[in-house]
Amino acid sequence: MKINNKIDEPLWDKIPCTCNHDSVITEYPVVNCIHCKCQRAEDSIPLEDFEINEFDEDGNITGKKTITEITLHNDDLESCIGWTF
């Protein structure tokens, strides 16, 4: 998989985690922890090729297409907020 706009050392990675990892598992990860929020976004980026269905104008599946390249869209912290193919 080719990933465009991937940043090797994003800004968010320098922000320390504010989660209490010793607490009850239901408290982790804390929603307000910027580091964990950005890490979850990073972990959601596909790393391997994947297939999608192709449709005709009537909504019928006409075949499959393999996605081999995506482009990341990042925020000010250089965290992935989405991707396109």
Q: Give the chain's domain count.
A: 1
- The pTM score is 0.77
Instruction: Determine the Cα–Cα distance for residues 26 and 36; give it in Å rounded to an integer.
Output: 14
Domain that residue 6 falls in: 2-84
Place of tokens 């010793």: 22
What is the Cα–Cα distance from 74 to 72, expressed in whole angstroms?
A: 6
Using one digit for the tens of pLDDT, what is the confidence trace for 2-52?
Answer: 999 999 999 999 999 887 666 555 555 556 789 988 998 999 999 999 999
